């Protein structure tokens, strides 16, 4: 993706191809996770519907993703959107407007559902890497999933 012009910071996890037609208009900060099936739309093709003596209309706008961001599976980000630092975008969301630093958004269109301090406090209760030393990946996943089921039924 860097070869296509996407600017990607350090320590990023990009779990599938970034889908876009103008990759050079996308920049991603440090420590960003982009899950599978994420689409970045850097243009508005509806301008082709307008025709006059000057021809069709075009709109292109960059997309900027800050640092320490998680973008869930199947998210669509529209032209001109900026996602701030320490943000989470829930799976399946459509991001139509910029997301301020420290905001957790989800939905269609994406709307704020939490702020960073509240989200971060919730993560503290999750199992930590240090708790799983010596376990295989399968053992870690099974252990976490089992604990989640117990918590849900309690």
DSSP characters for 32-96? -EE-TT-EE--B-GGGGG--STT-----B--EEE-SS-EE-TT-EE-TT-EE-SS-EE-TT-EE-
Helices (H) and strands (E) in the chain, counts: 2, 13
Output the six-digit token pair for 119. Answer: 């989200």
Under a CB-based contact definition with an 8 Å cutoff, are residues 103 and 115 in contact?
yes
Q: How far is it, in rounded angstroms, from Cα 10 to Cα 142?
A: 30
Q: Name the catalytic one among 43, 64, 111, 140.
A: 43
Does 43 participate in catalysis according to the annotation?
yes
Active site residues: 43
């Amino acid at each position: 993706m860097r070869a296509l012009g996407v600017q990607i910071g350090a320590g990023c996890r990009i779990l599938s191809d970034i889908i876009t037609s103008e990759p050079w208009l996308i920049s991603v900060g440090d420590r960003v996770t982009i899950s599978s099936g994420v689409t970045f739309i850097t243009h508005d093709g509806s301008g082709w519907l307008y025709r006059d003596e000057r021809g069709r209309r075009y709109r292109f706008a960059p997309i900027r993703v800050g640092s320490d961001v998680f973008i869930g599976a199947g998210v669509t980000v529209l032209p001109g959107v900026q996602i701030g630092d320490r943000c989470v975008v829930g799976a399946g969301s459509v991001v139509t407007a910029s997301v301020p630093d420290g905001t957790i958004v989800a939905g269609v269109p994406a709307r704020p559902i939490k702020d960073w301090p509240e989200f971060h406090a919730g993560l503290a209760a999750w199992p930590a890497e240090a708790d799983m030393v010596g376990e295989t990946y399968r053992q870690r996943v099974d252990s976490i999933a089992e604990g989640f089921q117990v918590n849900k039924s309690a």
